[in-house]
Structure 1
């Protein structure tokens, strides 16, 4: 009787405890009359004459409404954020860390309230996860000036998320930005708006200066473009679905504000089961992640042929008795029905635990057996509980199927063979690989979006650099209003025709070749451009007028050689770079002469630039094997390591034409990339003369390609090639705007610098400097990060 009574009291107390927190977040909503305002300058602002946006829970019950901000609100918020940045950034690292640590205890008191509010709004995030993030980034706030020297905060950072993004993804941007000394304007999605507003109130209560954290809510992504347009904004970073990210890229093109994108919603991720796996555990986990958890990504099940019957049998057994899953809307039901019908027409068979309701926003968990990688329901999955199942025979085929998706967010692989696991993890083009596990995360591990899954790194020390800049470097792009452009006609202007003259053939200008696939060659078009002397008094030489076909040939050569080059040991890549430096030294007189003739510099100054170029290549050779991976998480085992981006397109600056070229070339190939380089249109001869050095080097044919031509024309060719992962560009404001608007499908990592063509100057970078931070910044722009998680007992 006593035990039964005690148990009853325990249940009652537990019920009261849970409902106490439920009452807390309900009381917080009621305190604001369930009509939430903006959070500006450390307090709630609720203008009466604004439109409002309603939020409902999963059952269709009204939760609250949020304000739709207008121009005046944005201006007030940006001014507050600038003042908040001044107050926050002048604090010492210890003082900033102290504020963030104070938040840990605040969340200890109110964490359950935050978690319940997140659950109600559909932006699930546990309090323990938030506390772990705060602990990690408070330590980086403490160590910023000790371990990240010569870097400074950007200023006011706008953090934007889509409606379907989680609070975890939002805070993975907000907390590192604050830890590095920036102020933040949060532009949340509909689901994350209430918890973001509650957290902002808690942050200010913990001692964050007024204005250091502000929240602006709105009706759609147009608000984000208006925020980015404000001159006080230094950087915009986005997390969420790809569609809203692309819209934001296009809307902010030409504003001169850097934008980083992390499309973390809607990616297709492979769940690969090898014959050496623990099949029971793998099947249990695939059902958990595909049907029982909130689906932020779409999973595709890939099973080795030898065990597919065992897997299917276990799937049927585990799925028995499962009930229908709620869809978001009746519209999703239409899409699911269409996908099922299409799959059956293509010969797929279904595994379902119960009958399909005739109508309504519900559907049973469904496995589509016999799917093909090219099937539309695999490439563009419907928003429902559908799991395509594909088979493969060998390890290589399994990796190929896993890499078939255009996304590169994550993968889960199941095998008891550790060697096979690590080899597969290395070969998959994704940012996170979970071995015998799935959906594991920790803020200490850096993750980059590979392929079409992002243009930045989040998490770990590497994720901090998107919120920092070198003290010695000015902002790369000047703030401006977008230029009215016809994007379809950019780069289509014909180059001036070359008219032959009757001069002495012995004194005729020398023709230069370009360099594609390891061979010196003419352009595919057969046309040439005249290279003018420094004073414009005559023609010095002719260079090829490259175009799209030349870029296509160069990329085809680069993509063949780059995977093998990336797999070479760092010491082997170092030896090739040392050899390239020796080759440049052997041709130093010829290269110096080309600089002298092309730019008008004296021979002494030209030889000094060549000498610096030799030293720079040697620096990159030494750098190859000096960089290690990231830290280990607190529990389990994990690896984090940098990987090459792939094929880079580089449009070179006018300033220091040789030194800038070898600096960027060294950064690209030292990290395992292949490169297609476009010499500056004004001074192309030093880069074309460097082809002689490349011909005598031991670099694989196709690793380095040099194509001359009109800058705008070549920019268009690079931007529209789907294989090129990143573009480093020095050029006009129009060229920068074109790249920002165009490089969205697939997403390309952009590094843009505006220069004044008429003065022949780039953004002011001093290419002669040799400070370690200068090299480090180049290196970080040439790599992406991968995390591999290995569970322990």
Structure 2
């Protein structure tokens, strides 16, 4: 080569010229599309269906060229698809674990023959090797489901919904585990992934998947997704894509009685943190690759320690010298990028670009915005262009604070050669995935659990399988129904009728209770009280405080102050505190037997049994504290990875009417055993056992503010909990209106919801069942994965 170009090896080394790029080809994909006459139908019941009277829409590639047309499904198609999925579920779930695993493994060889076509249809955004790894991983879980995940069963028909900007790989990170666990799946892909999703559905059928077990419904706009969820045959809806469409889906499905999980990973803010102890050259290479070379489904923000800021910026300037302009999605994005750069300059940021921006066109050069503030628009509302805001920090604590300031919590990249610093920082960061000295590492064995506004479910690993499973002992949490006609602004604003007690002397006066906020028994801020009626419904049994928004605010403020310290105490201290609660309840056994009997109307023997179970339940949670703590993962790449369950934060709980004492200690134990703080609202119908339990809390060694009990109107307090931005999760037992209100409201910020509609005609949760502990424990934690490469 040196002779033919008259250049020495040294000259070639200095110039580092690249060889000619391989010409991309779409011949295989074009041949498959031509076979379907450039017009793809729906995939229902194992075959392509194209009704003659259905509208269609034209799909374009990234360069604006025509790819093919797809059918825009209507409600009749959804009904046909759901009926097919129900039959497919019966056939697929009746097969043995071995038989399901063999179907997935057979698809690996089929994908080897048709992987090129899949890759071309995805425009190389999803490699066949990544899909093969997914199939191999989930085929093994299909084989081992009944061995390693005993007593759990598939949900039924699962709808997997994706936004238009979602690629094929994350979509199938949800489809494959759902199939591996024995569910049937209805895929509603985005327009860019529709052809590849249809091809894979065809290949699945060829591998032996029963007809109807995998169906694909294509669409022209996102409104069809809510219509799919509305079908009564759907047991669960899971969404992946951008936050805006996820919020739209949650609001559109509120009140339908179908659980919806959201993984809005597209557009998330992901920090890159470079400490002074990092290998600067490797870190800079990682920054360039993450921010400017890979496909940007997330927005990166760079944080650099003060002592190495100049060195990092100088190296970035040098490395950016050879970078060309980056293609934008649309011409309109160019104006948004330029506006963001201008605003950053006006706020004092220094702009560094790899080359001059062309006068027009949907391209823009890689750009550093040095010296931006955390509140800068380019950081808070980043554009889709190749912009990288750069901020500095002084201490390790400041780095964690700046990174956690982001409303998103998908992933973060740490660069340091100090392992102790890396592990301590990873522990304190509120992100689901932490990469050390690398970025964008993905593997199906790594659980991905977005925190804050980056999701309310876990995908990947064994932990991600449970969203597609249920315990046979669990009753359906939400009955399927049509959404109620509600004015969300007026929910929880009603008043309660005043009941004047009838008594002739002070000796017959009803007892007045206090609530428990910040470690102190106190009245409500309003000073008002509600009457508690006996089981017969006549007269007044007692008075309890009528709490409201200000009481919730005070309780949450107290909970925030102590929750981080409670986590640091560790599982042993958590266990000792729960044992002390059990002993305190045991010491007042007869008082609580009387309280439960008088409040609920149960016989003394039945009340005695509930108190006995409550004492045992607290001891169960104490024993649970140090038994399940995550572990290491067998990664196919060189390096080490581990997962650990983390507390959600502050949990709001509206307690059920059934078993008022047992249900209260069950959710209380689940929350504090896993490191959470809790704000509890006792049953409005039977509040006295929970209010009597305040005496046990007062003499316990729990930190003041970790457990708060606020009584009052259920709807009023539900609104207060739902609208508090710090509360991370809400567990609700109540009316259908309350469930619908929470589904509609708890989207900004995104909260984790566990909703159970209390209906006298429906079967309620069995609080005595032992399997309830694992279900509650999984509702009380979120998972973090940490990846540390070794080569």
3-state SS, counterpart of residue 422 of structure 1: helix
Quickly say closer, same or farther: Cα 1:356–1:541, change in 2 above 3 A. Answer: same
Deviation at 1:359, TM superposition (A): 2.1
Q: Could you tell me how far 1:18 is from its partner in structure 2?
A: 8.1
Which residue does the alignment assign to 1:701?
704
C-alpha displacement of 1:566: 1.5
Name the CA shift for 1:765/1:544 in 2 (closer, same or farther; >3 Å): same
Q: 1:67 aligns with which of 55, 64, 71?
A: 71
Which residues of 2 match residues 336-485 of structure 1 at below 5 A?
Answer: 336-485=337-486
Contact conserved, 1:730 with 1:762, CA < 8 A, in 2?
A: no
Secondary structure, in 3 states, of the residue corresponding to 1:125? coil
Q: Give the match for residue 791 of structure 1.
A: 789
Which residue matches 2:231?
Answer: 230
Given the two structures, how large is their TM-score scaled by the length of structure 2? 0.96
Among residues 103, 117, 122, which one is paired with 2:121 in the alignment?
117
- How do 1:49-64 and structure 2 match up within 5 A? 49-64=53-68
3-state SS of the aligned residue for 1:367? Answer: strand
654-663 or 219-228: bigger deviation:
219-228
For structure 2, which runs of at least 5 residues remain unmatched after alignment?
5-19
Q: Does the 8 Å CA contact 2:502/2:539 hold for their aligned counterparts?
A: no
Question: For the structure 1 residues 390 and 17, does the alpha-carbon distance in structure 2 shift closer, same or farther, using more than 3 Å as the test?
Answer: closer
SS at 1:568 equivalent: helix
Closer, same or farther: CA 464–278 of 1 in aligned 2, 3 Å: same
CA deviations over 1:353-392 (Å, ceiling 9, x no partner): 1112222211111000001111121011111010000000
| Cα deviations by residue, 1:244-300 (Å, 9 ceiling, x for unpaired) | 000000000000011111001000010000000001111111111101111000000
**1:450: how far off?**
0.6
1:764 aligns with 2:767: no
Identify the match of residue 109 of structure 2 among 105, 112, 115. Answer: 105
* Paired residue secondary structure (2:53): coil
What corresponds to 1:9 in structure 2?
none
Using the alignment, how far apart are the partners of 2:299 and 2:136 within structure 1?
Answer: 31
Q: Is the 8 A contact 2:572 2:625 kept in 1?
A: yes
Q: Which moved more, 1:629-638 or 1:412-421?
A: 629-638
Structure 2 residue matching 1:607: 3-state secondary structure: helix
Where does residue 514 of structure 1 map in the other structure? Answer: 515
Map of 2:173 onto structure 1? 172
Question: What's the TM-score once normalised by structure 1's chain length?
Answer: 0.96
CA contact (8 A) 1:350 1:368 kept: yes
* Matching residue of 1:781: 779
Does residue 576 (structure 1) correspond to residue 577 (structure 2)? The answer is yes
**Structure 1 residue 503 displacement after superposition:** 2.8
Report 1:89-238 matches (<5 A). 89-119=93-123, 124-238=125-239
Contact 1:754/1:763 (<8 A) preserved: no
Please give the alpha-carbon distance, in whole angstroms, between the structure 1 residues aligned to 2:364 and 2:433: 30
Label 1:763 to 1:381 Cα distance change in 2 as closer, same or farther (>3 A).
farther
1:668 paired residue number = 671
Contact 2:501 2:539 in 1 (8 A): no
Give the counterpart of 2:680 among 677, 680, 683.
677
Please report how far the alpha carbon of residue 50 of structure 1 lies from its aligned counterpart in structure 2 after TM superposition. 1.9
Q: Equivalent residues in 2 for 1:603-618 (5 A)?
A: 603-618=604-619
Larger deviation, residues 104-113 vs 140-149: 104-113
Given that residues 373 and 401 in structure 1 are in contact (C-alpha distance below 8 angstroms), is that contact kept between their aligned partners in structure 2? yes
- 1:517-532 paired onto structure 2 within 5 Å: 517-532=518-533
> What SS does structure 2 have at the residue aligned with 1:626?
coil
Distance 2:104 2:468 in 1: 17
Q: Distance in 2 between matches of 1:550 and 1:591?
A: 26
**Structure 1 CA distance, aligned partners of 2:210 and 2:53?**
28
The SS at the match of 2:562 is helix
Alignment match, 1:287 = 288
Aligned residue number for residue 12 of structure 1: none
Q: Distance in 2 between matches of 1:227 and 1:574?
A: 45
Contact 2:43 2:216 in 1 (8 A): yes
- Alpha-carbon distance in structure 1 between the residues aligned to 2:549 and 2:665: 24
**Residues 476 and 763 in structure 1, CA contact (< 8 A), matched pair in contact too:** no
The offset of 1:472, in angstroms, is 1.4
Match of 1:41 in 2: 45
Q: Report what 2:34 is aligned to.
A: 30
Asked if the contact 1:433–1:787 (Cα under 8 Å) also holds between the matched residues in 2, the reply is: yes
Residues 434 and 330 of structure 1: is their aligned pair in 2 closer, same or farther, counting only changes over 3 Å? same
Q: Is the 8 A contact 2:165 2:241 kept in 1?
A: yes
Equivalents in 2 of 1:577, 1:112: separation in Å?
A: 57
Shift, 1:498, TM fit: 5.0
Instruction: Kindly provide the CA deviation profile for residues 183-219 of structure 1, in whole angstroms up to 9, marking residues without a partner as x.
Output: 0000000111111011001000000001000000101
